[in-house]
Structures are given as C-alpha cells and as structure tokens.
Amino acid sequence: MHLTRDEEDVLAGESGAVKQKSMEILVALGDIYNAERLVPIESAQIAGVSYKTIGEAGLEYLTDLSGKVVVPTMLNPMGMDRYKWREMGINETFVERQLAIIRRYEMLGIDAQCTCTPYYVSAPRAGAHLSWAESSAVSYANSVLGARTNREGGPSALAAALVGKTPNYGYHRDENRVPDISVRIDFPLAGSDFGALGYIVGKMVKSQVPQFSFVAPPNADELKALGAAMAASGSVALFFPKERAMPREIIELGRSDVDIYSSSEPDVVVLGCPHCSRSELADIARLLEGRTVARPLWICTSRFVADRSSSVISSIEASGARVICDTCMIVSPAFEKQRMMVNSGKALEYGPSLCNSHTFMGTTANCITAACTA
C-alpha cells in the first residue's frame, strides 16, 4: 500500500507509539486486502464496549492506550443503562468495571454516546468514508445513507479513529458496491416482517450483496431491521432496497418462507434492536395506550433519541414498561438465561449464543400483547 510522507512518519513512530501501532494495524489490513492507499474518514464508531463482551482483557487493552481520536467517534452499546442499572439488576462490580471502560474511551476523546444507531445522532453524508464497527450501523450507512464503510472490528475502527484514515478497499470502492443476487418478494411486508425477512435472507446470501424487489417500498425503520438481521444471520454489509442491475442469481420467497414468528410464552419481552427511532417509540406508545404490562417489557434506544422523546417515553412507562438507554438485550447481562421475546431478526440470531436465552420472535404488536398478558 502506498503511504504519503506524513503517513510514513506516523508509521515510523514520529507521532507516538499509539498512533504508530494504529498505523501498523491499518497498513496490515491494507496489505491483506490489496488497498492501494489510505482514505480520510469522516467518523468512526467503536464496538467492544460492554464489560460483558470485552471483560478484563479489553479493559487492560484500553488502559494501555493514549492520545486522541481525530474524527468524531461514538461507541456501541455498553452493558447497562448508566442511570437505571439498579432496575436492570446489574451488580456494582459490573457497574464499576463498565464505567472504567467508558472513562478510558472518553480519555481518548470519544463521545460516550453508546448506541448502535449513531446515524440518528449525526447522519453521515452520502459518499462519506467511515470506519464503523457495529454491523447494523454499517449496513444502514452503506445501504440507506449511501456512505462507505467496511465492517470493522473494534481495534481497526479505533485505529482508524486515532489516525483519521482507513485503507481504501471493500465497500469504500465503487466496484464492490454492486449487487450479486436478487431477492424477490411478491407479498406485502410491514414492520417486524422486515427483520424476519433479513434473518432468512442473511442465512441464504451470507456475505453477498443482495438487491430486493418489494411490493411496496420499505420505510427507513424497516430497512434498518432488514439490514441488521442480514448482518447478523449472514454477514451482509451492503444491500440495495431496489433492483438496479441484472443479478447472477434470483431468489424468490413466499410468505411461508419468512414466517418465523412464535407464540411461545416469554419471561421477558425486549424491543429496540437496533435501538429504536423516535417513530418506533411512538408506535410502541400507541400500541401500549391504555394497557398495563403483566411481565417485564424493556425498550432499548439511544440517549440522544430518548432525550428528544420524553412525552412518548412517559406514555410508554405509564404502562409499566421501561425504556433503557446506552445498552441492549444482547450486550447487557440483564437478559441472560430467560425466555426472551423480541421483534428483531438480529436479536433472534444472537439471543441464544450471546445471552444463553431461549429467544423467539413476534411482531411488535404481538410482543406487546404478550407483555400485557398474564
């Protein structure tokens, strides 16, 4: 990979050991994937934040870092709501270790908004190069917003944030942003159906780039659910909501192919994977109006969105449901080993392996009915 004189100096250690190590990571990646150069990025998003997932080893790794990020950088969800952790049943040792992780990131100049929907806080422009790690956010940035990011690991996104650049390969390049396969759906879908569809399609297409033909165009929340599920059950980082090229292969799916909903009885119902938008919170408030929950119902969103949705959240919480920020059902230890009902294809994929929970999916309306039924 070609480096400029300034980049060579960073690699030689002239900007300190941490930037040198970061540049080494970026150069190694660039060499593996045949990038010809680095490109400047406009933002970064770092995964590997919850103490549940990174543990003491992750905290130690962060403790050894110094310096400051040079582009706006946000974090993925951590293991608890920073204010409601007691209600979530999180123990004080976990809280202390989790807050130590957040402090380490803040010392690097990172904005400690912990969300998988950083695009609600600050949406990247179409064409912007990014270095984002959260797979659902990568999918949304590439496919809905037209920005350009590979699916980074925690260390490579952090290295890019510290250097302000990333190797120009993969989804940064035009030639890789083309569909491989068409998925044709000839029946109407709505809401959580898109998460169910993504769960099925991700398993079928794996890391290919699908394009879709729908009966009616999905809205942004539905595209978010579709992309998140495909990124989890497969490793799709880019898709096209409309057909735009002649594909090599066509998949046609009928309604029964995507009917993965279950009517099992849950211990807990958790919504908001990825973190709810303002319109999703409003839908949940409408579905809960005049009802009282009979079993725990948690709703995950970002603090940014929550701060702008206070009346909707009051209305949701009047039912006994709780809205939590900074965290989610998968990266928090609060939801482990339970029968967990979700409205998300991504949570359906990760619940069994990362929470050791019997996880099943319903529509948002069915999840709320289950939460309100004793």
Residues in contact with ligand F3S by CB under 6 A are 76-77, 116, 136, 228, 273-275, 300, 328, 330-331, 346-347, 350
Per the structure block, which two tokens stand in for 303? 């603090």
Helix (H, G, I), strand (E, B) or coil at 295: coil
Closer residue to ligand F3S (CB): 147 or 330? 330
Closer residue to ligand F3S (CB): 19 or 346? 346
CB of 335 to ligand F3S, least distance (A): 11
Nearest to 282 by CA among 312, 323, 240: 312
Distances (CA, A) of 43 to 103, 243, 304: 20, 29, 17
Question: Rounded to whole angstroms, how far apart are CA atoms 210 and 301?
Answer: 28
H/E run at residue 272: strand 268-276
110-113 long-range contacts, CB within 8 A, separation 24+: 110/46, 110/69, 110/73, 110/74, 110/75, 110/161, 111/72, 111/73, 111/74, 111/75, 112/75, 113/74, 113/75, 113/302, 113/303, 113/304
Q: DSSP letter at 117?
A: -
Question: Rounded to whole angstroms, how far apart are CA atoms 374 and 265?
Answer: 10
Closer residue to ligand F3S (CB): 25 or 114? 114
CB of 275 to ligand F3S, least distance (A): 6
CB of 134 to ligand F3S, least distance (A): 6
Closer residue to ligand F3S (CB): 136 or 150? 136
Helix (H, G, I), strand (E, B) or coil at 240: strand
Closer residue to ligand F3S (CB): 208 or 359? 359
CB of 235 to ligand F3S, least distance (A): 14
CB of 253 to ligand F3S, least distance (A): 23
CB of 371 to ligand F3S, least distance (A): 18
CB of 331 to ligand F3S, least distance (A): 6
Per the structure block, which two tokens stand in for 46? 């770092």
Closer residue to ligand F3S (CB): 77 or 179? 77
Nearest to 40 by CA among 66, 70, 11: 70
DSSP string, 17-77: HHHHHHHHHHHHHHHHTT-SSEEE-SEEEE----HHHHHHHHHHHHHT--S--SS-EEE--
Closer residue to ligand F3S (CB): 181 or 305? 305
Closer residue to ligand F3S (CB): 18 or 229? 229
CB of 316 to ligand F3S, least distance (A): 17
